[in-house]
């Protein structure tokens, strides 16, 4: 199996200024080609450290992907280290990158300085893949077998995530063209409401009986739930492989039932949106403790204006009574965090916006504000449509921002179930 | 100078399931003690790889901090590797952790299985720091000078970020008790609206003239702006050191003026909240393209209910006219993305909620919906108070979710400036 290492160069990572998000993206791309990542390493902007560390990684791996160390003010260190590592005698200028540098800086109305033009200059030992999204080119160093005991390739990418991810397609194409990889196929289903460990218990018999060339990955996420990705490795025929995955997933769906909310890589907000849009229905939200996060998640989906009318964050009780028309008696009698209040909020925002569906939340995110019968972490969630209004009470046990996240994703899940039941059956 | 390495153990990082956020937090904590992080490494759940990699890091560093590899289903691999590395002959049970395991699982209403109790069992070569937030204890292995050529300490922390970060205080205390560190003091100021590179140019003369024991770090963040952290290393007297930092920061403030919005580690939403609360004033938001993100950011601050009344996300034009009372003629004549509309939204939500201040947004986040004169990335921002309503147009050039982020943080910044000018002078 082809193996890889991912290296990040830059003091800003080592001092914790920046969290390295590139490596996870690169790793997923390599994995989807069936390439195993054995290590990830972050090192500083230091000539000797760069040469020593990259040599070590090239000795142990077929492919080394490097990000960072290529900004206009500091790329000399990385480039000189790569020149020495690859025994380059000269630098060459890549005209395609030069043109891109001119284009990008002109579009931004910036002067083109020598320091910018120097970015198109690279060791003459590398192939260049132009970087269309930024000024630093992608360098590919191909080492013959004699050098590290096996054919080894080093790809040097810019550190800016936008540019690094933009270059990934080209890098993967280059890898596919230069390595004979076993094919790998995936399918993903989305689950919500069951923790990874419990999910694993529910499906252990099914998982244990998977054919040996199939592998299940659990990919948990606080907002979207646990993704389950089923892969088949080394398949000879794509159609047969996908059909075999399909058969296994059908068995999985029979076990998990409603716990699965989508049979593609998805989010609750996108799944809700698809059902609403397909049925010509609309929605709105009324949020207290979630403070606008549900609305923010819904509108993170491109095209959400087709079905999302709007929302009211009713933090103050007066906004609940004046805007959402929650009867003041309800709040007096039951409090704002109550079944009665959240039902009235859901119905109120549906009336106010004229939407077909609505979801409402009222709870205590903390750190303060809890009581014995309504502790911090308590939330009432209401969903409403012409067919009726339902409410659910949940209690979480975390800090303010994680409580708000869990309140929001739970509310989306409850709305999803209602929308699906009423519109998709 | 004391040096450290941070290691992450876990296949889930290598296959890109999880982005490692622990290392950046740990690195910042070490840096604030004046400890330099030389490398970060991520490795898989493999006995030999763990021993080889950790040995290598212990040879090169005084302190190695390990996270991960300690879940109930897989901690055997890491613990056995640590036992072998530290030449442990037996395992011991830590009673304090055992008690925590009982308490946590009972509180969650879960059965206590042998696999859970086994988490309190550790190699007898380590000191234990109880983990109050989870079931896996923190292990501290202290290696004498003979072993790796220098006194070396390995801290093993759970991988769950909530637990790893929760343990950081204890780890730093242990390091301070066992290493003679040169003292280091920091002060942070927050800037908004100027990119790191431009900021660096503006203050380069000041930065170049800093005393040699002072260091400036740039910590950029899309939502909160660029943090500038000034540190003094190896100070003998805390009071003198802080006074010297203060003097330099006064000079910095004179250069940057309004670009600095806070002289502590802060966010725009917290800074706005402090001014409002101190003056007994309230606010609300009316959001179109930002879809609730401003409201969500405001309410992420604990205690925001003291000054935040609520918000309306008016995605549909009918919500703008019916709820916010934006005159329909404005939308017909100027469109929803216009100076007139965003001013009417800001005034509308202030009337609706009775708040003293309000901020409103209307723009085109993309990917669709742009036109020649209102391209994707265009946003109108309005802020309103009894003293008047002001509007600003900005154009960004990014993808949907990054545009929404920039729209939101810009709106917070414009509101901050108004609130500060009217209430804080």
> Of B262, B285, B314, which residue is a domain's last?
B262
| Residue A236 sits in the same domain as residue A282 | no
Nearest by CB to B16, from A28, A318, A400: name it. Answer: A28
Split at pLDDT 50, 70, 90, the class of B425 is low
Q: Is the pLDDT of residue B196 over 80?
A: no
Instruction: Label residue A372 exposed, middle or buried (CB < 10 Å: 0-12, 13-18, 19+).
Output: exposed
> Of A142, A163, A178, which residue is a domain's last?
A178
Asked whether A39 and A5 are in contact (CB, 8 A), the reply is yes
> Which one of B291, B348, B364 would you mutate to disrupt binding with A, by most A Cβ within 10 Å of its Cβ?
B291
> Which one of A1, A17, A53 would you mutate to disrupt binding with B, by most B Cβ within 10 Å of its Cβ?
A17
CATH number of the domain bearing residue B32: 3.40.980.10
% of chain A at pLDDT higher than 70: 98
Interchain proximity A14–B39, CB inside 8 Å: yes
Using alpha carbons, list the distances in angstroms from residue B8 to B23, B56, B154: 8, 14, 13
H/E element, B197? helix B196-202
Of A392-406, B175-189, B326-340, highest mean pLDDT? B326-340
Q: Does B217 touch chain A (CB under 8 A)?
A: yes
| Residue A246 sits in the same domain as residue A319 | no
Supply the pLDDT for residue A215.
Answer: 84
Nearest in space to B393 (alpha carbons), one of B344, B337, B311: B337
> Of B178, B195, B223, which residue is a domain's last?
B178
CATH number of the domain bearing residue A383: 3.90.950.20
The rounded distance, in Å, linking the Cα atoms of B422 and A414 is 44
Residues B57-92 have pLDDT tens digits of: 999 999 999 998 886 665 578 999 999 999 999 999
Q: Find the mean pLDDT for residues A418-424.
A: 94
| Residue A232 sits in the same domain as residue A303 | no
- Residue keyed to tokens 């964050």: A313
Asked whether B376 and B370 are in contact (CB, 8 A), the reply is yes
Split at pLDDT 50, 70, 90, the class of A1 is low
Higher pLDDT: A308 or B19? It is A308
Tell me which of A250-259, B236-245, B400-409 is least confident. B236-245
Q: What is the mean pLDDT of chain B?
A: 92
| Residue A97 sits in the same domain as residue A20 | yes
| Residue B302 sits in the same domain as residue B365 | yes
| Residue A209 sits in the same domain as residue A117 | no
Q: Is the pLDDT of residue A266 over 80?
A: yes
Supply the pLDDT for residue B185.
Answer: 84
Q: What is the mean pLDDT of chain A?
A: 92
Q: Find the mean pLDDT for residues A58-73.
A: 88
| Residue B231 sits in the same domain as residue B277 | no
| Residue B143 sits in the same domain as residue B37 | yes
Count of residues for chain B? 425
Supply the pLDDT for residue B74.
Answer: 57
| Residue B286 sits in the same domain as residue B246 | no
Tell me the residues of chain A between 377 and 396 that have a Cβ less than 8 Å away from chain B.
Answer: none
pTM of the model: 0.82
Cβ-Cβ contacts under 8 Å, A28 against chain B: 15-16
Split at pLDDT 50, 70, 90, the class of A276 is very high
Interchain proximity A197–B318, CB inside 8 Å: no
Rg (CA), chain B: 27
Of A74-88, A186-200, B251-265, highest mean pLDDT? B251-265
% of chain A at pLDDT higher than 90: 69
- Count of domains forming chain A: 3
Tell me the residues of chain A between 294 and 313 that have a Cβ less than 8 Å away from chain B.
Answer: 294-296, 298-300, 302-305, 308-313
Using alpha carbons, list the distances in angstroms from residue B394 to A290, A393, B408: 28, 42, 12
Q: Residue B355: count other Cβ atoms within 10 Å of its Cβ.
A: 24
Asked whether B390 and B425 are in contact (CB, 8 A), the reply is no
The rounded distance, in Å, linking the Cα atoms of B368 and A418 is 29
Asked whether B345 and B339 are in contact (CB, 8 A), the reply is no
Using alpha carbons, list the distances in angstroms from residue B90 to A44, A364, B124: 39, 47, 6
Supply the pLDDT for residue A198.
Answer: 81
Where would I find the H helices in A33-113? 47-60, 75-85, 95-107
Tell me which of A302-311, B95-104, B113-122 is least confident. B113-122
| Residue B164 sits in the same domain as residue B246 | no
Range of the domain at B237: 184-262
Count of residues for chain A? 425
Residue A318 tokens read as 């007066």
Residues A95-141 have pLDDT tens digits of: 999 999 898 888 777 777 887 888 899 999 999 999 988 888 999 99
| Residue B162 sits in the same domain as residue B290 | no
Residues facing residue A190 across a β-bridge = A227, A262
Supply the pLDDT for residue A72.
Answer: 66
Q: Is the pLDDT of residue A74 over 60?
A: no
ipTM of the complex: 0.81
Supply the pLDDT for residue A53.
Answer: 96
H/E element, A201? helix A196-202
Residues facing residue B139 across a β-bridge = B128, B156
Q: Does B25 touch chain A (CB under 8 A)?
A: yes
| Residue A188 sits in the same domain as residue A71 | no
CATH number of the domain bearing residue B206: 3.30.70.2860
Nearest in space to A35 (alpha carbons), one of A69, A64, A14, A15: A64
């Amino acid at each position: 199996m082809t193996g890889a290492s991912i290296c990040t160069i830059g003091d800003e990572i080592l001092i914790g200024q920046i969290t390295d998000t590139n490596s996870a993206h690169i790793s997923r791309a390599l994995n989807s080609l069936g390439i195993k990542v054995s290590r990830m390493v972050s090192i500083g902007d230091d000539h000797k450290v760069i040469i020593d560390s990259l040599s070590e990684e090239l000795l142990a791996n077929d492919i080394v992907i490097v990000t960072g160390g290529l900004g206009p003010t500091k790329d000399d260190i990385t480039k000189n280290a790569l020149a020495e590592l690859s025994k380059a005698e000269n630098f060459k200028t890549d005209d395609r990158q030069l043109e891109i540098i001119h284009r990008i800086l002109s579009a931004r109305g910036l002067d083109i300085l020598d320091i910018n033009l120097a970015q198109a200059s690279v060791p003459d030992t590398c192939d260049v893949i132009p970087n269309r999204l930024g000024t630093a080119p992608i360098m590919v160093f191909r080492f013959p077998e004699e050098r590290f005991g096996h054919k080894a390739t080093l790809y040097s990418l810019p550190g800016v995530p936008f540019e690094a991810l933009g270059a990934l397609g080209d890098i993967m194409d280059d890898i596919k063209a230069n390595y004979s990889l076993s094919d790998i196929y995936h399918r993903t289903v989305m689950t919500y409401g069951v923790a990874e460990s419990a999910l694993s218990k529910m499906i252990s018999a099914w998982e244990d009986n998977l054919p040996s060339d199939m592998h299940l990955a659990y990919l948990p996420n606080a907002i979207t739930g646990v993704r389950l990705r089923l892969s088949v490795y080394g398949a000879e025929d794509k159609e047969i492989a996908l059909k075999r995955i399909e058969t296994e997933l059908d068995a999985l769906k029979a076990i998990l039932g409603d716990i699965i909310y989508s049979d593609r890589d998805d989010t609750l907000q996108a799944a809700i949106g698809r059902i609403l849009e397909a049925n010509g229905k609309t929605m709105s939200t009324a949020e207290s403790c979630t403070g606008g996060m549900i609305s923010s998640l819904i509108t993170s989906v491109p095209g959400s204006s087709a079905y999302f009318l709007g929302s009211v964050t009713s933090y103050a009780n007066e906004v609940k009574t004046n805007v959402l028309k929650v009867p003041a008696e309800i709040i007096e009698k039951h409090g704002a965090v109550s079944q009665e209040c959240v039902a009235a909020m859901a119905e109120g925002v549906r009336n106010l916006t004229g939407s077909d569906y609505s979801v409402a939340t009222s709870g205590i995110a903390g750190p303060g504000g809890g009581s014995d019968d309504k502790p911090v972490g308590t939330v009432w969630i209401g969903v409403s449509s012409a067919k009726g209004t339902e409410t659910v009470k949940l209690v979480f046990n975390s800090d303010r921002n994680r409580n708000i996240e869990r309140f929001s994703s739970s509310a989306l899940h409850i709305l999803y179930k209602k929308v699906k039941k009423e519109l998709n059956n």
